[in-house]
Structure 1
Amino acid sequence: MSTEGLDTDALSTWLDSAAPGLLEDPLEASLITGGKSNLTYAVTDGTREVIVRRPPLGHVLATAHDMSREYRVMTALAPTDVPVPETFALCEDESVIGAPFYVMERAAGLAYSRADQLAGHGPERTRAITERLVDTLVDLHAVDYESVGLGDFGRPEGYLERQVARWKKQLDASRSRELPGMDDLIAMLDADIPTGGDSTIVHGDYRLDNVLVDDSDSITAVLDWEMCTLGDPLTDVAILLAYQQLAEAAPPGTTAGLVTDAPRAPGYLPRDEVLTRYAERSGRDVSDLHFHVAFSFFKLAVILEGIHYRHSHGQTLGAGFDGIGDLIEPLIQAGLHAGSATDQ
Structure 2
Amino acid sequence: MTTTDNPPGLDLERLRTYVDRERPGLVSGPLTGRLIEGGRSNLTYAVTDGSSRWVVRRPPLGHVLATAHDMGREFTVLAGLYPTPVPVPRPLLLCRDETVIGAPFYVMEHVDGVPYRTAGQLAGIGPERTREVVLGLVDTLVDLHAVDPAAAGLADFGRPEGFLERQLRRWDKQLAASRNRELPGIDALRDRLGARLPISGPPTVVHGDYRLDNVLVGPDDRIRAVLDWEMSTLGDPLTDLGLLVMYSERLPVADSPVATTAGAPGHPEPAELVARYAERSGRDASTVGWYTAFAYFKLAVILEGIHYRFTLGQTVGAGFDRIGTLVPAFIDRGLNILNTKD
SS of corresponding position for 2:321: coil
Cα offset for 1:324?
A: 1.1
Q: How does 1:248-259 map to 2 (within 5 A)?
A: 249-251=252-254, 254=255, 256-259=256-259
SS of corresponding position for 1:322: helix
Distance in 2, Cα, partners of 1:171 & 1:143? 32
Distance in 1, Cα, partners of 2:51 & 2:189? 51
Distance in 1, Cα, partners of 2:325 & 2:10? 31
Match of 1:96 among 97, 100, 109: 100
For the aligned residue pairs, the C-alpha RMSD in angstroms reads: 1.2
What's the CA shift string for 1:265-290, capped at 9, x where partnerless? 11111111101100000001111222
Cα offset for 1:328?
A: 0.6
Opposite residue 13 of structure 1, the aligned amino acid is T
SS of corresponding position for 1:243: helix
Cα offset for 1:243?
A: 1.5
Aligned to 2:291: 292
Distance in 2, Cα, partners of 1:78 & 1:243? 26
Distance in 2, Cα, partners of 1:228 & 1:246? 25
Normalised TM-score (structure 1) = 0.96
Aligned to 1:308: 307
Cα offset for 1:233?
A: 0.3
SS of corresponding position for 2:249: helix
Pair 1:111 & 2:115 matched: yes
Cα offset for 1:24?
A: 2.7
Aligned to 2:280: 281
Distance in 2, Cα, partners of 1:61 & 1:203? 18
SS of corresponding position for 1:263: coil
Cα offset for 1:250?
A: 4.4
Aligned to 2:206: 202
Unaligned runs of 5+ in 1: none
Opposite residue 238 of structure 2, the aligned amino acid is L
Distance in 1, Cα, partners of 2:119 & 2:288? 26
Aligned to 1:319: 318
Unaligned runs of 5+ in 2: none
Cα offset for 1:327?
A: 0.8
SS of corresponding position for 1:65: coil
Is the contact made by 1:54 and 1:99 (CA closer than 8 Å) also made in structure 2? Answer: yes
Distance in 2, Cα, partners of 1:225 & 1:295? 19
Distance in 1, Cα, partners of 2:337 & 2:96? 40
Normalised TM-score (structure 2) = 0.96
SS of corresponding position for 2:76: helix
Distance in 1, Cα, partners of 2:7 & 2:112? 24
Cα offset for 1:115?
A: 1.4
Tell me: CA distance 1:155–1:25, structure 2 relative to 1, closer, same or farther (3 Å): same
Identity %: 59
Aligned to 2:328: 329
Pair 1:66 & 2:70 matched: yes
Q: How does 1:1-344 map to 2 (within 5 A)?
A: 1=4, 2-247=6-251, 249-251=252-254, 254=255, 256-260=256-260, 262-342=261-341
Cα offset for 1:337?
A: 1.1
How many positions carry a matched residue from both structures? 338
Distance in 2, Cα, partners of 1:66 & 1:207? 20
Opposite residue 27 of structure 1, the aligned amino acid is L
Cα offset for 1:294?
A: 1.2
Distance in 2, Cα, partners of 1:128 & 1:196? 30
